[in-house]
Structure 1
């Protein structure tokens, strides 16, 4: 797709250097195509990195997509400049009367907190309720997936004895599901989390489809029967070096951490990260954008 983003968004130059098709607002305005309107609730601390990662995954389709970046008004980000937030982000109050074709709710490094201890939990619940009537399909990632499963279906997270950290092999359970069309029967996803969702708890809930699992990492991909909700416990949007950066960060902070599993490979005598998830990550987001959003959303929301 031509990704329709502002000319001065930091991600634009990075994506253009990677030969990702981006389009400035002025050029997009002159095309006689209704763009898909996607709102991204970015809860990650390093917002520019997350913007780039998500736009990269959504940048390989013939569809034109317009993005709105959203942050909670009840939380002040500490790792992103106020100028960047002012330039590119909006709040829920400013969009609550609008309709969107798709929504992405990112993860957040707050798994250790009970949901009702999260500073913006009440606002997030309101946004998730709003999405059921104002968004065609919502894609929840990592903590965002756990929060969505808890809020919509009452499925709580469980603490793990130690951090699940690495790149794990996953088995496809529903080969005919549109969301995983074109997937290999075995594929890889990075995970970085301290909590988990029980497979048994998912299976007990009518209206949910368990699409893939890992023998090591557990539940991975879940979708509602009506395709309005997608829950992904891993981080396929991660860059090749993201897990390594997290590992080195925790080492510097003297946080107990083991090296990420199934991730580093010895090349020329050095341990280097190897990306084994990029193609399936791109396919997953393309399938969501095509089958769950584009094929289902009305041309005119009115």
Structure 2
């Protein structure tokens, strides 16, 4: 007959051998699950920030979208923001397109026929701060090219200003190819021409022209030539803004138009503090230049050497 004490001891030993490995297996599983939770919790994100600068307008809201450049119809996220709110979208960093400039941020100002704007950017983690979105009112666009009339060469770095009844509608500058996009707000007197002024920093006389602005986008080429001076003529430059060029020497004489800083006047006669001269104007409808003669106060002029 077996010893009962020995039998019980062997049974307890068997239980210990069986249970301990099972406990070790359970600990490994729990540890794996815990590590997986840590990985999920530490997944990297990216914050894509947008800053808006509304210029003399007040959009009612902004629709902000982020999407891959190769799939514009499949945005990662789209949100609506109101003026004063921080505009940002937070995404998992690993969903962004890794191609060079493979992602696009689209901003749609709401409340009028505003232009939609886009920014392309690379995938990253942390924060991406996009360049500022300047929000302008609805505009017609003149694709302007400025050339030397004698050589046909482009005149780069020319300052282009558009006014109507003395109000400045647009300011821009040509690039090295003599080209620029001139935005002319649709909120103007539509049935009246605008005055376009092109200042070349003294390389040529300031070009001025009355233009009828077409609706939408249109192209225009302007050629500029040097002034031909007659006997006793002298070139003066306007040093102030909004200077009346009058029909007569009297203070109450009719103002033909306003001259601005950098405009040039060919002066042929001086009468005290008033000077008589001419400004060459391009008439867009007729396609010709015309010399407009008038009077201007000498304090607004500086003689060019």
- TM tier, shorter chain? under 0.3
Going by fraction, where is helix more abundant, 1 or 2?
1
TM-score normalised per structure 2: 0.24
Structure with bigger gyration radius: 2
Going by fraction, where is strand more abundant, 1 or 2?
2
TM-score normalised per structure 1: 0.24
